Amino acid sequence: MAVGPYTSQTIWIAEADDFVIRQFEDVYFVFCKSAGTTHLLNFLTASIVKNAVDKPGNMKDLYDRVLNDLELDAEDCPSELFESSVVQLDEVGLLKPKEYSNA
Amino acid sequence: MPETLISDLNRADVFSSLKEGQFELILGAFSARLASQSPELVDFLFDVYRDVPANLELQEVTDIALNVRPPNVFRKYLRPQVIPDPGFKVPAVPLPKKMAPLSLEMGMNLSVALKCCRFLTFHAGAVANENGGVLISGASGSGKSTLTTALMQEGYRLFSDEFGLLSLDKAEINPYPRPVSLKGNSISVVRDMVGAEWVSKSIMNTPKGEIAYRRARRSDIEQANVPAPVKLILFPSFAENISPRAKKLTKAETIMRLIESATNYKLLGEAAYKALTDMVVGAEAYDITYGDTEECMQMVRDFAGEAGL
């Protein structure tokens, strides 16, 4: 469950100033300044965060961009897996919903 | 001002200074103001800390202020006991007065582990030679004190057998060469390794069993202000009658294990994250399981060579 309610139109944002990220081999260590916590991200969750920093978007926007960046298809990364990863990033404070849109 | 070593001082003066709470111990990363009414502590200081600089009167603000005292008036006279009182509440049990040295060591350890903010503090042994340092991280009983001592025999300087003190602004560990705490079977192993004259009398029947201390060498203490970059990180675990084996760890595994081993990682926040990740970039790390110190040292020598030590 995410920290708060969200819809398919919720814009997800990651604030670059709120964390420090360093890559070691194929994983990423992220320090979240506001929570004071350290997180270990895999290539998928790291890409979600990077995409949400560069250009916040709704679940579908981020899903398309991340799959494109990682050269994956829906079979490699089902939307359910992607959504649960977004929710987990929300729970630990690395991603948050920016606003709701009726568009 | 020239340094005065404990061995240069007069016993009666040291005891008097301790009773007045004025005794100042100056050792590497930390200075300590000590207070106690226990003559056992004087004997311990003249034996195990004899080459450490000290003052009979306070010269400066100290990092640690520790009083080894009775837990209450009752226990001052009847079956006397002592506790370490570092000025804040610590999880220390009262010990018989004859175990005052153990109380002193516990108190100094707790002061560093719970109140030190100048360094990222790992529960680890640490040694270094002229090329760099070795961090030996492990829980109690993992053999880190024995390995620390074995590496000292190979010419490494003692930094600590209890704390890896990582600078926050550079990937260097800092010495705090207090005596190496030995428990149970490791006492005889180390006595055989270094000679009985380097190991204190055993304190028997402590809550941790038999305990003795391997004294730091004068050369360790003289270089107690010289830090070293970390080149090799070891995570040992000791088990009887087991063939030695080792596994090289990824940087990510190393970081995760060291976060667990740090006493103040969460407290120091971003500075700790940066210091830790910087350190791991420049170091190789191995998980080691062993049942024989010499067999383990053969592996460690190879790893040290590969790491440029």
CB contact under 8 Å between A25 and B251, yes or no, is yes
The more confident residue out of A101 and B114 is: B114
Residues of A in contact with B274 (CB under 8 A): 20, 31
Residues of B in contact with A25 (CB under 8 A): 250-252
Kindly state whether residue A1 falls inside one of the protein's structural domains: no
Q: How far is it, in rounded angstroms, from Cα A57 to Cα A61?
A: 5
Domain ranges of chain B: 6-115, 119-178+216-306
Report the pLDDT averaged over residues A18-47: 93
Q: How far is it, in rounded angstroms, from Cα B102 to Cα B301?
A: 33
Confidence of residue B2 (pLDDT cuts 50, 70, 90): low
Tokens describing residue B24: 């100042």
Domain of A32 in residue numbering reads as 11-93
- Shortest distance between the Cα of A16 and any Cα of chain B, in A, equals 14
Closest residue in chain A to residue B252, using alpha carbons only: A24
Q: How far is it, in rounded angstroms, from Cα B284 to Cα B134?
A: 10
Task: Give the pLDDT score at B115.
Answer: 86
Interface check for B252 against chain A (CB to CB < 8 A): the answer is: yes
ipTM (interface pTM): 0.82
Output the 3-class SS for B176-243: CCCCEEEECHHHHHHHHHHCHHHECCCEEEECCEEEEEECCCHHHHHCCCCCEEEEEEEEEEECCCCC
Q: Does B185 have pLDDT greater than 90?
A: no
B143 to A98, B31, B140, B211, B247: CA distances (angstroms)? 51, 28, 8, 14, 17
pLDDT per position as a tens digit, B154-180: 999 999 999 999 999 999 999 999 999
Report the pLDDT averaged over residues A65-85: 95
B296 to B137, B186, B235, B237, B282: CA distances (angstroms)? 15, 14, 12, 10, 23
Residues of A in contact with B273 (CB under 8 A): 20, 29, 31, 38
CB contact under 8 Å between A33 and B269, yes or no, is yes
Interface check for A36 against chain B (CB to CB < 8 A): the answer is: yes
Please answer whether residues B296 and B244 qualify as being in contact, where contact means their C-beta atoms are separated by less than 8 angstroms.
yes
Output the 3-class SS for B89-108: CCCCCCEEHHHHHHHHHHHH
Looking at the structure of chain A, the number of domains it has is: 1
Kindly state whether residue A41 falls inside one of the protein's structural domains: yes
CB contact under 8 Å between A24 and B280, yes or no, is yes
Q: How far is it, in rounded angstroms, from Cα B7 to Cα B272?
A: 38
Q: How far is it, in rounded angstroms, from Cα B69 to Cα B83?
A: 6
Let me know if domain B119-178+216-306 sits in CATH 1.10.340.30.
no
Q: Does A103 have pLDDT greater than 50?
A: no
